[in-house]
Homo-oligomer: A and B are copies of this chain.
Amino acid sequence: MTDAPGLHPDTGGPGSLLDLRTPCALVDRAILDRNTERMAARATRLDVRLRPHVKTHTCVPAARLQVRGHFGGITVSTLAEARYFAEAGFGDITHAFPFPMAAIEDAVRIAHKIERLTLLVDQESTLEALDAFCLSRGERFSVMLKVDCGYHRAGVDPRGDEGIALALRLASSPHLEFGGILAHAGHAYACRDADEIRTVAAQERDVTVEFGARLRAEGLEVPEVSIGSTPTIGLADDLEGVTEVRPGNYAFHDVFQATIGTCALDDVAFSVLASVVGRYPDRGALIVDAGALALSKDPGPVHVDPDCGFGVVVSEDGRERHGDLRVVSLSQEHGVIRGAGIERFPVGSRLRILPNHSCLAAASFDRYRIVNGDEIVDEWRPVRGW
A-to-B contact residues, CB < 8 Å: 1-4, 21-24, 55, 77-78, 80, 97-103, 106, 122-123, 125-126, 129, 152-154, 157, 186, 275, 277-280, 282-283, 287, 289, 292-293, 296-299, 331-334, 336, 346-348, 359-360, 363, 365-366, 383-386
- Tell whether, in the assembled complex, residue A125 and residue B80 are in contact, meaning their CB atoms are under 8 Å apart: no
Residues of B within 8 A of A334 (CB): 97, 153-154
A274 CB to closest chain B CB (Å) equals 10
> A154–B283 Cα gap in the complex (Å)?
10
A189 CB to closest chain B CB (Å) equals 9
- Tell whether, in the assembled complex, residue B287 and residue A153 are in contact, meaning their CB atoms are under 8 Å apart: yes
Residues of B within 8 A of A126 (CB): 277, 347
- Give the interface SS of chain A, mostly helix, strand, loop or mixed: loop
> A292–B385 Cα gap in the complex (Å)?
12
- Tell whether, in the assembled complex, residue B296 and residue A102 are in contact, meaning their CB atoms are under 8 Å apart: no
Query: Given A297-B297, A298-B297, A363-B293 in contact, is the A100-B384 Cβ separation under 8 Å?
Result: no
For residue A20, which residue of chain B has the nearest CB?
Answer: B102
Residues of B within 8 A of A154 (CB): 278, 280, 287, 334
- 20 A–B contacts from the bound complex (CB under 8 Å): A1-B383, A1-B385, A21-B103, A21-B106, A22-B102, A23-B386, A55-B332, A123-B277, A123-B278, A126-B277, A152-B283, A153-B331, A153-B334, A186-B331, A292-B296, A292-B360, A296-B296, A297-B360, A299-B299, A365-B385
- Tell whether, in the assembled complex, residue B101 and residue A348 are in contact, meaning their CB atoms are under 8 Å apart: yes
- Tell whether, in the assembled complex, residue A102 and residue B299 are in contact, meaning their CB atoms are under 8 Å apart: no
Residues of B within 8 A of A80 (CB): 1-2
For residue A333, which residue of chain B has the nearest CB?
Answer: B77
- Tell whether, in the assembled complex, residue B157 and residue A123 are in contact, meaning their CB atoms are under 8 Å apart: no
For residue A186, which residue of chain B has the nearest CB?
Answer: B331
Task: Identify the 10 closest CB pairs spanning chains A and B, nearest first.
Answer: A1-B385, A98-B277, A2-B385, A297-B297, A98-B278, A77-B333, A125-B347, A123-B347, A100-B277, A297-B298
Residues of B within 8 A of A1 (CB): 80, 383-385
Cβ-neighbour of A348 out of B22, B97, B102, B186 (below 8 A):
B102
Instruction: A23-B386, A125-B347 are known; give 6 further A-B pairs, CB within 8 A.
Output: A4-B386, A22-B386, A78-B333, A97-B277, A154-B334, A299-B299
> A332–B126 Cα gap in the complex (Å)?
22
Residues of B within 8 A of A186 (CB): 331
Residues of B within 8 A of A23 (CB): 386
> A369–B261 Cα gap in the complex (Å)?
43
A4 CB to closest chain B CB (Å) equals 7
A370 CB to closest chain B CB (Å) equals 18
Residues of B within 8 A of A97 (CB): 277, 289, 333-334
> A364–B100 Cα gap in the complex (Å)?
20
For residue A291, which residue of chain B has the nearest CB?
Answer: B77
For residue A365, which residue of chain B has the nearest CB?
Answer: B385
Query: Given A98-B277, A289-B97 in contact, is the A366-B348 Cβ separation under 8 Å?
Result: no
- Tell whether, in the assembled complex, residue B297 and residue A77 are in contact, meaning their CB atoms are under 8 Å apart: no
> A33–B83 Cα gap in the complex (Å)?
37
- Tell whether, in the assembled complex, residue B333 and residue A278 are in contact, meaning their CB atoms are under 8 Å apart: no
The residue among A97, A98, A106, A282 with the most chain B CB atoms within 10 A of its own CB is: A98
